[in-house]
Amino acid sequence: FNVGVLTEVRINKFLDVRFEPGLLYTSRSLGFPGFTSEADAIREVRSTYIRFPLLLKVSTKRFNNIKPFIIGGAYTSLNLGAKEDSLDDNSSGEFRMKKSVYGYELGFGIDFYTEYFKFTPSIRGVFALNDELVRDDDPNSPWTGNIDGMRTRGIFVNFTFE
């Protein structure tokens, strides 16, 4: 779930630069085989991100009241539930992630112009570039020892009202 605001600068009638800061809530359930206790086998990782995407929107010519577009750009986000500096690790039941995440997003959508506002549904893919996992102190940890990396990837359906 993501809630945000929108700032847009029009370069010309086909190009816009957009800044879309927002608050994103997410939950991941990670399962680790080989444990008899559910407390050890399942890690529920809840995160709250403050996202700062800077995007370029490339639109077509407006046809009646619709205007298709593609959008893409880079983002940085701050994970408020990261626990990166915590001294506890998975042996204490604490799954840690890094505070800063960097990545890119790509998508497409359609602007629908109504009498009073513009409604814009879009589909976007979000892909983190850096590894978000903070490894346990034990290099042979059953929770983080066998994970190469953990990166946010997701497909979002966005609804924007302007």
Length of the chain: 162
Identify the H or E element spanning 4: strand 2-4
Neighbours of 24 (CB within 10 A): 19
Check whether 9 has a pLDDT greater than 90: yes
> Who has greater pLDDT, 40 or 103?
103
Q: What is the mean pLDDT of residues 88-109?
A: 87
Check whether 89 has a pLDDT greater than 90: no
What pLDDT does 25 receive?
A: 87
What pLDDT does 159 receive?
A: 92
Separation between Cα atoms, residue 161 and residue 103, nearest integer Å: 25
Q: What is the mean pLDDT of residues 60-89?
A: 90
pTM: 0.81
Neighbours of 161 (CB within 10 A): 9
Check whether 94 has a pLDDT greater than 90: no
Neighbours of 54 (CB within 10 A): 14
What pLDDT does 151 receive?
A: 87
